[in-house]
Amino acid sequence: MCNLPVHVSCRSNAEYMSPSGKVPFVHVGNQVVSELGPIVQFTKAKGHSLSDGLDDVQRAEMKAYMELVNNMLLTAELYIQWCDDTTATEISRPRYSSPYSWPLNQILAYQKQWEVRRKMNAIGWAGKSLEQVYEDVSQCCQALSQRLGTQPYFFNKQPTELDALVFGHLFTILTTRLTSDELGEKIKSYSNLLAFCRRIEQSYFEDSQAGSSSRGYSKGPSLF
């Protein structure tokens, strides 16, 4: 969205390469910066920012919505992938263990599952049922949908970090194959969110797919 040249590289050990243990991270010159918050600050220090046009109230509002997305959508995604037994067995563990050979793949997949479940215990989500989680996602989407209304982006005409974060999560939920389509359907029930996702995909990723050699973005899943 900032029009900066970027090369996306997929590695099986990306999680371990990152200095904080979390993806995504960027490698710029000599520096490695991980997670969205620090990356945004890093690009801002270099002079590129999406939220320059916002005043303080709007910036605070943006931060609040980003926190909501992180607390709700991210946690729900982790819950569905690792705490739901069917999804974990059929999708998450095989996918997580695919780069490694036996018995390391089993060890690492179970280690990841235990780690996520411990985290869910710590924040109190362990007792929730799948239905409750879907309900929480639905409420979060409702709040986002209300904020978006009929505008093209969350804050008027220009995309901000909030748009990037929401797009990232919603796009992933809509295009990831799970054991049931219920989560995707919940999102699709909010038509303005769906249109929002399609719009961003068209404006920013269709171009790069056409000129994929220069951008280095591999042909991935699509909403269309």
Partner 1 sequence: MSLHFLKLTPTFEVRYILDVIMKTVHARSLDPLPMQGPELGFQADDIERPDMEQESKQEVLENKVVIVQRVHIDGLGRTKEDCLTYEIADVFRAKNLIDVMRRAHEARQKLLRLGIFRQVDVVIDTSQGTVVQGVDALPNGLDVTFDVTELRRMTGSYNTMVGNNEGCMVLGLKLPNVFGSAEKLTFQVSYGTKETSYGLSFFKPQPGHFERSFAVNLYKVAGQFPWSSLRETDRGVSTEFSFPLWKTNHTLKWEGVWRELGCLERTASFAVREESGHSLKSSLSHSMVIDTRNSAILPRRGALLKINQELAGYTGGDASFLKEDFEIQFNRHLFWDSVLSASLWGGCLLPIGDKPTCIADRFYLGGPTSVRGFSMYSIGPQSEGDYLGGEVYWAGAVHLYTPLPFHPGKGGFGDLFRTHFFLNAGNLCNLNYGDGPQAHLRKLAECIRWSYGAGIVLQLGNIARLELNYCIPTGVQSGDRICDGFQFGAGVRFL
Residue 104 binds to partner 1 (criterion: CB under 8 A): yes
CB of 193 to partner 1, least distance (A): 36
Question: How far apart, in Å, are the Cα atoms of 137 and each of 44, 69, 190, 198?
Answer: 31, 9, 12, 20
27: contact with partner 1 by CB under 8 A: yes
* C-beta closer to partner 1: residue 19 or 94: 19
Residue 16 makes contact with partner 1 by CB under 8 A: yes
Residue with tokens 């991980």: 34
In the set 57, 85, 102, 213, which binds partner 1 (CB under 8 A)? 102
Q: How far is the CB of 83 from partner 1 (least distance, A)?
A: 23
What's the closest the beta carbon of residue 13 comes to partner 1, in angstroms? 3
7 binds partner 1 (CB under 8 A): no
- As measured in angstroms, the least distance from the Cβ of 29 to partner 1 is 10
Contact between 68 and partner 1 by CB under 8 A: the answer reads: no
| 15 vs 182 by CB, closer to partner 1 | 15
Nearer to partner 1 (CB atom), residue 14 or residue 91: 14
> Applying CB under 8 A, does 224 fall inside the site for partner 1?
no
Among 23, 107, 143, 195, binds partner 1 (CB under 8 A): 107
| 42 contributes a contact to partner 1 by CB under 8 A | no
Torsion angle, alpha carbons of 38, 9, 11, 43, to 10: -10
**Contact status: 30 vs partner 1 (CB under 8 A):** yes
Q: Which stretch binds partner 1 (CB under 8 A): 15-23, 42-50, 61-69, 77-85?
A: 15-23
CB 162 within 8 A of CB 210: no
The footprint of partner 1 (CB under 8 A) covers 11-13, 15-17, 19, 27, 30, 32, 100-104, 107-108
